[in-house]
Amino acid sequence: MQKYSQAVRCVAIFGNYYQTSNCKYVARVIEALQRHGVAVEIERKFAEFLLSQDAGIAPSLARLSQVDALSKDVELVLSMGGDGTFLNTAEKLGHQQLPILGVNTGRLGFLADVMTDNIETAVAQLAAGQYTISERSVIETRIAHPDFDVYPYALNEVAVLKHDNSSLIKVETFVDGEFLNSYVADGLIVSTPTGSTGYALSVGGPVLSPDSATFCLAPVAPHSLSMRPMVLSDRVTLQLKVKSRTGKFLVAIDGRSESLPEETLITLRRADYKVLVVKMPGNDFFSTLRHKMMWGADQR
């Protein structure tokens, strides 16, 4: 589902803490926002990183509010980096329901799809209210283990994976309490439609439309060729139980991994909130697929 939105008057900027090239792009974003009369807040840790890397950005940052918690005036968040940074930004915002626009200062990105040479145009469109918001479903993870302390929500995927040797694991999988299958493989990925263009795609999973209200189960290097990706309604509850020769396995929630003992019960269901993704004119899901996956391109 997409909805059109109003002109933006206050934004917050988040970013990663390792790309030194961010500095020049953040300065461009700040200058463009201020030219259009948009107030700017910047996450304090990100501001400290930028200052430690490039003193040239100091004048731009000095005019901004550097905050640990966003004010009630913030209407939209800019994520400076790649898709990994976008996922980290979504984690930090949690249930706040603020729309996120990804500015891609990295490589291929499906979430961070505003390229650096379009920064000024994108900012002008934000200030004019020329953008849409796509609502993306999230997976909630419940794990029956007292030491589990990873943020339990995934915009892309939850993966259970073998731990530290070449032996396969067995993932017993239940759908609404009914036994589905025992996946004997290097692992099993449960992805949202958003995550279908990420890890799940790399193991042969299908591309899912963001509004399709589905989960995809995609095995990683399965022992049997009959184990194929499967698409389910996201109204179901999934339960996973892993058996491993090493007695342990990894669970990765949007890349945040934790080691767990075998037989730990993992319950997955659609979360009670959605992540709001800002899309600029011309950057709809299908045009992004054609451009970034080169669909229909003659590569001879």
Q: Length of the chain, please?
A: 300
166-172, Cβ contacts within 8 angstroms, sequence gap of 24 or more? 167/244, 167/245, 167/246, 168/223, 169/242, 169/243, 169/244, 169/249, 170/242, 170/243, 170/244, 171/240, 171/241, 171/242, 172/240, 172/241, 172/242, 172/243
Examine the residue annotation and report whether 186 is marked as an active-site residue of this protein: no
175-190 burial code (b ≥16 CB/10 A, e <16): beeeebbebebbbbbb
Contact of 198 with 83, CB cutoff 8 Å: yes
Q: What is the CA radius of gyration of the chain?
A: 20
In this structure, the number of other CB atoms found within 10 A of the CB of residue 249 comes to 26
209 to 144, 192, 194, 258, 269: CA distances (angstroms):
32, 10, 8, 29, 19
The β-bridge partners of 171 are 183, 242
- The DSSP 8-state label assigned to residue 211 in this structure reads T
127 to 27, 72, 91: CA distances (angstroms):
17, 18, 26
Task: State the Cα–Cα distance between residues 111 and 88, nearest whole angstrom.
Answer: 12
Select which of 54, 68, 73, 83 is catalytic.
Answer: 83
213's tokens? 């209200």
Task: State the Cα–Cα distance between residues 157 and 215, nearest whole angstrom.
Answer: 9
Say which residue the tokens 């200062």 belong to: 105
Catalytic residues: 83
